[in-house]
Amino acid sequence: MEWGRSTTGMLLLTAVLGGGCAAPVAVQVQGTLPDDHPRVYVVGRAPQPLKIDGKLDEPIWLQAPRTDLYIDIEGDRKPRPEFDTRSAMLWDDEYFYFGCWMDEPHLWGTLTERDSIIYRDNDWEIFVDPDRDNVDYDEFEINVLGTEFDLRLTRGYRCGGTFDIPWDMVGLKTGIHVEGTINDPSDQDSGWTVEVAIPWSSFADVSNVPCPPGPGDIWAANFSRVQWPLEIVDGAYVKPEGVKEDNWVWTPQDAIDMHRPEYWGSVQFVDAPPGTRPFVPDDQVVPRTILRRLQTAIEQYIETEGEPPTSWADLEGRWMPVPDSRVILKDIGPKGDSWFVTMQQLTDPGEGVHWQLGPNCRLTREAVIVYE
């Protein structure tokens, strides 16, 4: 089906996580979304500042809906993750709050220096693109020892992106809580939880949207859990040479690459307690779906043909259009060492939005007058 994913019931499902606390795990959607739309979440408001200790035992965290269980980064075509992972989000006027619950029988970590490449250990990661333009986004990683790694990226690596590791999330707060013993193979552990508070000021300088957001605003975000296979040698955990890690995520990336912001989830902020409001799709769902599908088709075309498409006919049969008379495809072709596409969306009589994807994966939108 082209359209049809909807959730019409209230928050009815529960999961027992983090010491046996029941929490909702379904998010209501008002209306429908495309079947291939990234996962969505509604971020409720915290009534007061949170104590960031990693325990996630405050009543407001118990109200917050859990995300769907993480799946493999490539999606359903890969096996279900071995251990369960869920996350939740909250916000107030000062911070964007994140919580994560991870089942883990072998708590292990080695890196202790800040801004180490943390995903060389088992870790949990946050990715946020406030204005959803696929560029100038932030990443945060943490391991079970509480070692932090934050960086800013200009764009995805496949689009020529670079990163800034010395950049810091000034005012960041983090907490770790473990149920078990770290780096002790003699017992079996239960898991660990992470609590993170990122100040809005860490996003504001490149976001091009209000920080903090307003009620109804939608940002792009995703989470990743990196999990390495371990062996026990002489009473200690050892990561074997040459092994590959697993990458488990909230919403799939369709490739082993977290740096594809067009695949990140849609998180909507509401001025209401968590779990009390549905996700309300905005008028950007159709154009963003079209552009995400087009980008995949264009990249596949380049891989097989060695150059960007120069006409819409080049992509015929390579992607699934969205039937919507309000959106008109315009231009396509190479631009410098990259490519671009444009389209026009009619929003009201005589008014519309000009969308452009590229060059170098940047997504822009601009209000225009439409002459019919």
- Is residue 221 within 8 A of residue 126, CB to CB? The reply is yes
CATH number at residue 164: 2.60.40.1190
Q: Do 197 and 72 sit in the same domain of this protein? A: yes
For residue 14, is it within any domain?
Answer: yes
- Is residue 216 within 8 A of residue 42, CB to CB? The reply is no
Q: Do 305 and 329 sit in the same domain of this protein? A: yes
For residue 276, is it within any domain?
Answer: no
Find the domain containing 93 and state its range: 3-269
Q: Which residues pair with 138 in a beta bridge?
A: 128, 152
Distance CA 124, CA 80 (A): 18
For residue 302, is it within any domain?
Answer: yes
Q: Do 173 and 322 sit in the same domain of this protein? A: no
Radius of gyration of the chain (CA): 21
CATH number at residue 341: 3.10.450
Cβ contacts of residue 223 below 8 Å, gap of 6+? 67, 70, 87, 98, 100, 124, 125, 126, 127, 249, 250
Distance CA 369, CA 372 (A): 10
Count of domains observed in the chain:
2
Condensed to tens digits (0 to 9), the pLDDT of residues 141-155 reads 999 999 999 999 999
Q: Do 130 and 16 sit in the same domain of this protein? A: yes
Instruction: Give how far Cα 101 sits from Cα of 16, 52, 66, 70, 124, Å.
Output: 11, 15, 9, 11, 10
Distance CA 308, CA 306 (A): 7
pTM of the entire predicted model = 0.92
Distance CA 258, CA 92 (A): 27
Backbone φ and ψ for 285, nearest 5 degrees, come out as: -60, -50
Please confirm whether the linkage preceding 212 is cis (ω < 30° from 0).
Answer: yes
Q: Do 299 and 237 sit in the same domain of this protein? A: no
For residue 248, is it within any domain?
Answer: yes
The predicted pLDDT at position 350 comes to 83
Cβ contacts of residue 317 below 8 Å, gap of 6+? none
Condensed to tens digits (0 to 9), the pLDDT of residues 160-212 reads 999 999 999 999 999 999 999 999 999 999 999 999 999 999 999 999 999 99
Which segments in the chain show pLDDT lower than 70? 1-25, 370-372
The predicted pLDDT at position 371 comes to 59
The predicted pLDDT at position 349 comes to 83
